Amino acid sequence: MSYAAFTKKVARINDLLCTANLLVWDARVMMPPGGVEARGHQLATVTDYARLLAVSSGMQRTIDSALEDLRGAAEDDPRLRAVRAASDGIAVLSRIPGSLLAEAAELKTRGQAVWAKARAANDFDAFAPLLTRTVEIQRQIAEAIGHDGHPYDALVAGYEPGMSWARLQGLYGEIKAGLLPLIDQALGKPRPRTDFLDRSYPVDGQKRFASAIAARMGYDFSRGRLDDTVHPFEISFTRGDVRITGRFRENWLPGGLFAVWHEAGHGMYEQGIDPAFTRSAFTTDFINLYAVGGASFGMHESQSRLWENRVGRSRRFWELHFGALRDVFPEQLGDVSPEEFWRSVNVARPSLIRVEADELTYDLHIILRSEIEAALICGEVAVKDVRALWAEKVEAYLGLKVESDMLGVLQDVHWSSGMIGSFPTYTLGNVMAAQLFETAATKPGIAEGLDTGDYAPLRSWLGDNVHRFGRSRTPEAILIAATGRGLDVAPYLRHLAEKAAAMGDS
Amino acid sequence: MSYAAFTKKVARINDLLCTANLLVWDARVMMPPGGVEARGHQLATVTDYARLLAVSSGMQRTIDSALEDLRGAAEDDPRLRAVRAASDGIAVLSRIPGSLLAEAAELKTRGQAVWAKARAANDFDAFAPLLTRTVEIQRQIAEAIGHDGHPYDALVAGYEPGMSWARLQGLYGEIKAGLLPLIDQALGKPRPRTDFLDRSYPVDGQKRFASAIAARMGYDFSRGRLDDTVHPFEISFTRGDVRITGRFRENWLPGGLFAVWHEAGHGMYEQGIDPAFTRSAFTTDFINLYAVGGASFGMHESQSRLWENRVGRSRRFWELHFGALRDVFPEQLGDVSPEEFWRSVNVARPSLIRVEADELTYDLHIILRSEIEAALICGEVAVKDVRALWAEKVEAYLGLKVESDMLGVLQDVHWSSGMIGSFPTYTLGNVMAAQLFETAATKPGIAEGLDTGDYAPLRSWLGDNVHRFGRSRTPEAILIAATGRGLDVAPYLRHLAEKAAAMGDS
């Protein structure tokens, strides 16, 4: 009885958070300009009710009495785990004063506009006061949540349960040690041709091809849709309605294609969650007040990276599908071979902009951001020194000079929306993707499927070993069950070395 | 202070109801099939929170203390009027047990599917049990709300404040007396040519022309958008985001065009509401738990009818704009004159389907539905006798035999969604539209504008005399202030007689 009361309350919180997701999707994809102001109020109100319900004394009583009823239940009883998942998340949320969250929300709304303006004006100083306040607020949130040493831990764990700055530093050390020689090696190689990538590719054709491949990968369009936006994203309103967006540019072919497969990877994760977890604690992120089905931000990113990079950027993929792409664009691609196309979308070159970085240099962008964030949060570095620190790290890791704030410290939206501590999950996603993919490739039918363009076996293995669990297991537990060990950088470094070697072998 | 607390609470209720509107819009326009079930939960949860907030003891205390603070305020103090508007609406809502509303909501969800299936099978008996339960529930709601004699009054007043069955009967009597001779007269006339209306008109061109005219009428696309749906509608998420939908069929030109102008008329009403009323009691319908800015359903319909029929179906309109339509469809309309086009969209002929009815016969469809609803609610007629009663009235009013349930008693969606008492507002809309239009035409610049295709003066007069007030005045008060008198059928009958005469004059 009290467990039923618990599930009912959680279902209603989940309804509100799914609704908040729709308010966000619509604002980014459909809303006319006149709707901006009211939409901010609507989103704040809906999210705040979800929060008030979660941290209410009524919810606490419901949790306590459900735990009481479940006394004696087995440790792995899904009901017990659901109540504990909600209870743990709500405990963290409850420690953050509502006034702090309100200021964070207000800063986020204001921040986007301030950042966009500062970026357009190429003027970090115009953004610095807002960033200063954001760092202060996030530090207070970290202290309110509590941590064992480094305040960055509290923020990172909100996006990636079980992760800490110390663990990240170890991981980053291994990655840097592996990557830097590979990058040096790549720089010595002749650059493959890319002259055909910016020819004129009408958007309709790009979209048709990208969608057909996404469907072939396993993204279910009857439980989703693909729309255009400025910044591609995936968002869900339960597993039955998981939407993705893309951005297609007529004169840049790979951008649109890979973004769709990236978002489709996120989408398949949400679509693959156990139907029994609909409207439950296992599809509700109580800390971030967000309706989402993935175990963590990093595990989510592993699924998008896996389909984008491990499948979509593989040599075999283009041997199989380049013909279909050339059928769509016969004139533009008439003088290009599958091998040339594959090479063109795998060029490894250090660059200034994270979102345009290749597989080999991407993580260095993440590492430098994480290092700066951690230093900001614990007060080792002041906002006024961030621009110089950024330039220093870009030179050290990528061998490049930062030419402007726009191409440097102002390039990402994250800090302007209060997200400090989420960058590491991009690299964690890469690492997990490699670890899962390496294991998957040893399972019956998967390598054959990849070789013939039948992605159902891979999708199905990911469904059974990752997707279906939703948030009912930690990312670490999922990795251990699926691959036999916890987070391990080795498969990722092996993959990058193999890719570099294959690219060199022309 | 307590007035500020009041406005804050109302704003949050309005946020939730605007959000519910987005859930509805998205479900009808964008949502993939997989989203249906979860969307039902989301809509129920969001609406239920709005209701719980409205009927909470906290809200009552806030209202009481705001009224206390405002003691001594002038009777027309907008703050006092706002508190009273909320208080009156909430008082009605509070009288309806939550369990009744929950059953009504559940019936509504189930009803749509049952009705659609019964209609497709042409089988009223399959729908009758659900209609029986709907009538029972609505009767209980009417009794809970309370009334002075006829339970239908309580339901009608929810859609049209101040309206009663007795007043409607008087009005209907006048309308019938005026219409029936006009219809007889129209039937004696030769039928104008309509052979060109079902030629092939590519939808893009229809949409372009309809949108350009809607913008010219005054619908602001920067605070709205036009999408495709099965059933055209207008819905708003505050005055800054007021969306309309249309349905275009390649082989039926007038359907798509007039639907857009109809919905644009609704849209201009919402877009024209005083910005000060945003998120206030004057844009919240507490009885129907609906975020809407119009004074009543009837007043809203007056605005759609006015632009659709008084402007869009006028002879001068097509003298002015037929050229532009022919530019879009030069081959299809090459053998058609503006006069012929005008006649083709004004053919007056009794028909079985309400939504396809012409101006002259439309209200008879409404009157027969109202009479049946009123009889059902007070128990004078049983559901099992409705089919026969329908046939009898169609024969009496329209001189037609009802050929099937699909073309008869099962044609409208209203009863399946629990809406009993809303039909009269369509006719009230026609009457108010005529009354407002007749007055407007005497004001400086308006007749000249209609004559030259400059609709700004008309739109502006409607803005000043109707739109801006939102729900802050009753429909009756708006009519009196704008036209010098309360609801008056005479202008409507005059218009229909003139139209009939003009159509006869060929």
| A275 Cβ under 8 Å from any chain B Cβ | no
Binding residues of B: 262, 266, 301
Cβ distance B22 to A26 less than 8 Å, yes or no, reads yes
Q: How many CB atoms lie within 10 A of CB A335?
A: 10
Binding residues of B for Zn(2+): 262, 266, 301
Task: Compute the mean pLDDT over every residue in chain A, rounded to the nearest whole number.
Answer: 96
Distance separating alpha carbons of residues B49 and A16, to the nearest angstrom = 10
Q: Are B407 and B391 in contact (CB under 8 A)?
A: no
Q: Is the pLDDT of residue A506 over 80?
A: no
Residue B399: per-residue pLDDT: 93
> Which stretches in chain B have pLDDT values below 50?
none
Residue of B nearest to A13 (CA): B45
Q: Are B291 and B17 in contact (CB under 8 A)?
A: yes
| A240 Cβ under 8 Å from any chain B Cβ | yes
Cβ distance B42 to A19 less than 8 Å, yes or no, reads yes
**Shortest Cα distance, chain A CAs vs residue B237, angstroms:** 8
Cβ distance B240 to A38 less than 8 Å, yes or no, reads yes
Cβ distance A35 to B223 less than 8 Å, yes or no, reads yes
- The residues spanned by each domain of chain B are 165-503
Distance separating alpha carbons of residues A424 and A368, to the nearest angstrom = 10
Split at pLDDT 50, 70, 90, the class of A1 is low
Nearest to A284 by CA among A41, A57, A9, A77: A9
| A222 Cβ under 8 Å from any chain B Cβ | yes
For the stretch A302-331, pLDDT in tens is 999 999 999 999 999 999 999 999 999 999
Q: Has A392 been annotated as catalytic? A: no
* pTM recorded for the entire structure: 0.95
For the stretch B12-68, pLDDT in tens is 999 999 999 999 999 999 999 999 999 999 999 999 999 999 999 999 999 999 999
Residues from chain B contacting residue A44 (CB–CB below 8 Å) = 15
| B220 Cβ under 8 Å from any chain A Cβ | yes
Residue A149: per-residue pLDDT: 86
The answer to whether A150 is a known ligand-binding residue is: no
Q: Are A352 and A402 in contact (CB under 8 A)?
A: yes
Q: How many CB atoms lie within 10 A of CB B332?
A: 18
Residue of A nearest to B271 (CA): A34
| A235 Cβ under 8 Å from any chain B Cβ | no
Question: Across the interface, which of B22, B35, B278 has its CB nearest the CB of A240?
Answer: B35
Give CA A134 to chain center in angstroms.
21
Cβ distance B240 to A278 less than 8 Å, yes or no, reads no
B56-66 burial, b at 16+ Cβ within 10 Å, e below that, comes to eeebeebbeeb
The answer to whether A262 is a known ligand-binding residue is: yes
Tokens standing for B437?
A: 């239009």
Cβ distance B49 to A45 less than 8 Å, yes or no, reads no
| A220 Cβ under 8 Å from any chain B Cβ | yes
Mutating which of A13, A15, A220 best tests the B interface, going by the most B Cβ atoms within 10 A? A15
Residue B506: per-residue pLDDT: 53
**Shortest Cα distance, chain A CAs vs residue B238, angstroms:** 7
The whole-number average pLDDT for the span A2-26 is 97
C-alpha dihedral (B12, B15, B17, B18), degrees to nearest 10: 170
Choosing from A103, A263, A308, A373, the catalytic residue is A263
Residues from chain B contacting residue A235 (CB–CB below 8 Å) = none
Q: Is the pLDDT of residue A491 over 60?
A: yes
Tokens 């901006």 correspond to what residue?
A36
First to last CA, chain A: 67
Q: Is the pLDDT of residue A249 over 60?
A: yes
Tokens standing for A301?
A: 């990113």
Mutating which of A12, A28, A42, A273 best tests the B interface, going by the most B Cβ atoms within 10 A? A42
| B492 Cβ under 8 Å from any chain A Cβ | no
Cβ distance A26 to B26 less than 8 Å, yes or no, reads yes
Cβ distance A38 to B241 less than 8 Å, yes or no, reads yes
First to last CA, chain B: 67
Residue A240: per-residue pLDDT: 97
C-alpha dihedral (A224, A229, A233, A239), degrees to nearest 10: -20
Q: Give the angle A290-A418-B49 at the CA atoms, nearest 5°.
A: 35
| B322 Cβ under 8 Å from any chain A Cβ | no
Contacts A–B by Cβ distance under 8 A: 123
The whole-number average pLDDT for the span A186-206 is 94
The whole-number average pLDDT for the span A230-246 is 95
Mutating which of A45, A48, A221, A234 best tests the B interface, going by the most B Cβ atoms within 10 A? A45
Cβ distance A35 to B220 less than 8 Å, yes or no, reads no
Cβ distance A223 to B35 less than 8 Å, yes or no, reads yes
Nearest to B320 by CA among B213, B205, B183, B164: B213
Residue B439: per-residue pLDDT: 98
The whole-number average pLDDT for the span A91-104 is 94
Question: Across the interface, which of B34, B46, B220 has its CB nearest the CB of A241?
Answer: B34
The whole-number average pLDDT for the span A391-414 is 95
Give CA B186 to chain center in angstroms.
27
B37-54 burial, b at 16+ Cβ within 10 Å, e below that, comes to ebbbbbbbbbbbbbbebb
| A12 Cβ under 8 Å from any chain B Cβ | yes
| B72 Cβ under 8 Å from any chain A Cβ | no
* Predicted complex ipTM: 0.94
What sign results for the dihedral spanned by CA atoms B161, B162, B168, B171? negative
**Shortest Cα distance, chain B CAs vs residue A228, angstroms:** 13
Annotation: CATH topology of B165-503: Neurolysin; domain 3 (1.10.1370)
Beta strands of B261-344 (E only): which ranges?
A: 284-285, 290-291
| A33 Cβ under 8 Å from any chain B Cβ | yes
| B321 Cβ under 8 Å from any chain A Cβ | no
The whole-number average pLDDT for the span A480-492 is 97
Residues from chain B contacting residue A273 (CB–CB below 8 Å) = none
**Catalytic residue numbers of B, as ranges:** 263
The answer to whether A147 is a known ligand-binding residue is: no
The whole-number average pLDDT for the span A355-384 is 96
For the stretch A331-351, pLDDT in tens is 999 999 999 999 999 999 999
Residues from chain B contacting residue A278 (CB–CB below 8 Å) = 38
For the stretch A265-288, pLDDT in tens is 999 999 999 999 999 999 999 999
SS (H, E, C) B429-481: HHHHHHHHHHHHCCCCCHHHHHHHCCCHHHHHHHHHHCHHHCCCCCHHHHHHH
